[in-house]
Amino acid sequence: MAAAKLRTAAAIAIATAVPAAGAVLPLRRHRAFLTVRLRGSSCRIPPQRGGAAAAMSSSARAEHEAGAWYAVPGLSLRDHRFAVPLDHSSPDGGDAITVFAREVVAAGKEETSLPYLLYLQGGPGFESPRPMEAGGWLKKACEDHRVVLLDQRGTGLSTPLTPSSLSQITSPAKQVEYLKHFRADNIVKDAEFIRLRLVPDAKPWTVLGQSYGGFCAVTYLSFAPEGLKSVLLTGGLPPLGEPCTAQTVYRACFKQVQQQNGKYYKRYPQDIPVVHEVVRYLSESEGGGVSQFLQLERVWDPVLVPGAKRSISYYFLKEGSSSKWSAEKIRAEYESLFDPVKATEEGRAVYFTGEMVFPCMFDEIHALRDLKEAAHLLAEKEDWPPLYDVSKLNNNKVPVAAAVYYEDMYVNFNIAKETASQIAGIRLWVTNEYMHSGIRDGGSHVFEHLMGLLNGKKPLF
């Protein structure tokens, strides 16, 4: 799958005649894409004024507003909005933001008593899926659950975290002060706020966390296990504290990315000269150069379009701790291996990067340029509260099952195993059948397998 993803990235660059890196993609194409995404899912929802300016006194809003049920093939859906504190440490009298969640059940089960399952999307910065019909893991989950698809704070139909919203904040220091409330710890506090108001008798619920959503689920296990009935993790076991620093994680990630690039070009050697052509074109044209071409997994991100309301949490809060631009430092250790211009000059394969944040992004992505100083302040910020409590995890009582993908390009296999060893009672499913996107590529099978580990249908040995 990683090879296919890389090939798709190269194909997109060629087929769309990529302009100089950093140039804006045609808005018409994005509009068509967004229309498809919205149709049948969120088109009934009125536009939401958002951003920092939309934060208001928590006492001025209803805590919970629920919409009417509506249908897509095989599913019934209902939208919820919650007014949650921006800062959960001062819920009384502080500012509130909106967090959006979509409740999903199998068609005809709107009034059926079912256990709740909360889905935490990967990212950070991505909204929850917008189901257009019953399928994949969601169809399987809805057989026995009432599923809640959460737009984590700052994403989707929750109060947005965008270049436009942050531009309303008057200084980089104040932007950092605002951004610090959008990490996994506050996502978990939002989830608990919602559970207490949505779930009958505030019963514990099951949490399914994909990738970064799994990181959030481990934060949940650390600080609010009383809200959890069980936890399912897919490609989502995070690094736990020292000595697992951002540099340790990026060093492991670069090795895996190097391997996946090698597999891609071994399978598609004819793409080597094609990518060389793209690099030559970009390096000789006006614009940001070739670095953004190496991150084509995000080529369709609407944040690249002026005025687009897409969360930018990914660019600021991916590490969740002091990063000190670790990806840039580790890339320098590889000297010319990830230098596209030098690789082209020497006739070598050009290596793409994957899920890495570099300071050049805040120079070359137009929408992020005004946030460059805030990004540097965040990269150097060290006084973050912990996201995980290893002692709590060592004494965990919540049933946990995790899918660990042997060749995962984004969550290192060895680091994931080390983390699993710290979570008492966890059951692991180690597989090379899927890559990081297993929940999307084989969702029904992945979900059923993990539930089998929890309910005893899968043997211990």
376-409 residue pLDDT tens: 998 888 888 999 999 999 999 999 999 999 999 8
- C-beta of residue 150 within 8 angstroms of C-beta of residue 118: yes
Is 218 inside a domain boundary?
A: yes
- The CA–CA distances, whole Å, from 149 to 10, 303, 399 equal 32, 22, 21
Structure tokens at 140: 């399987």
Is 37 inside a domain boundary?
A: no
- C-beta of residue 101 within 8 angstroms of C-beta of residue 67: no
Is 288 inside a domain boundary?
A: no
- C-beta of residue 408 within 8 angstroms of C-beta of residue 235: yes
DSSP structure string for 177-201: HHHGGGSHHHHHHHHHHHHHHHSGG
DSSP structure string for 311-329: --HHHHHSSSS--TTHHHH
pLDDT at 45 over 90: no
Active site residues: 211, 383, 436
Structure tokens at 46: 């009125």
Specify the number of domains making up the chain.
1
255-314 residue pLDDT tens: 999 999 999 999 999 999 999 999 999 888 776 556 555 554 444 444 444 444 455 655
Output the domain CATH number for residue 108.
3.40.50.1820
Closest of 280, 272, 270 to residue 345, by C-alpha: 280
The pLDDT of residue 94 is: 80
Is 33 inside a domain boundary?
A: no
| 121-135, 174-188, 203-217, 229-243: least confidently modelled range | 229-243
11-25 residue pLDDT tens: 333 233 333 332 222
Range of the domain at 83: 55-243+385-455
Is 36 inside a domain boundary?
A: no
Question: How far does CA 346 lie from the centroid of its chain?
Answer: 36
Is 170 inside a domain boundary?
A: yes
Phi, psi values for residue 415, rounded to 5°: -65, -40
Is 96 inside a domain boundary?
A: yes
Instruction: Specify the DSSP class assigned to residue 23.
Output: P
Is 319 inside a domain boundary?
A: no
Average of per-residue pLDDT across 225-237: 98
pLDDT at 120 over 60: yes
pLDDT at 5 over 50: no
- Predicted TM-score of the model (pTM): 0.81
**Tell me, what amino acid is at 127?**
E
68-98 residue pLDDT tens: 999 999 999 999 999 999 999 986 758 999 9
- C-beta of residue 430 within 8 angstroms of C-beta of residue 404: yes
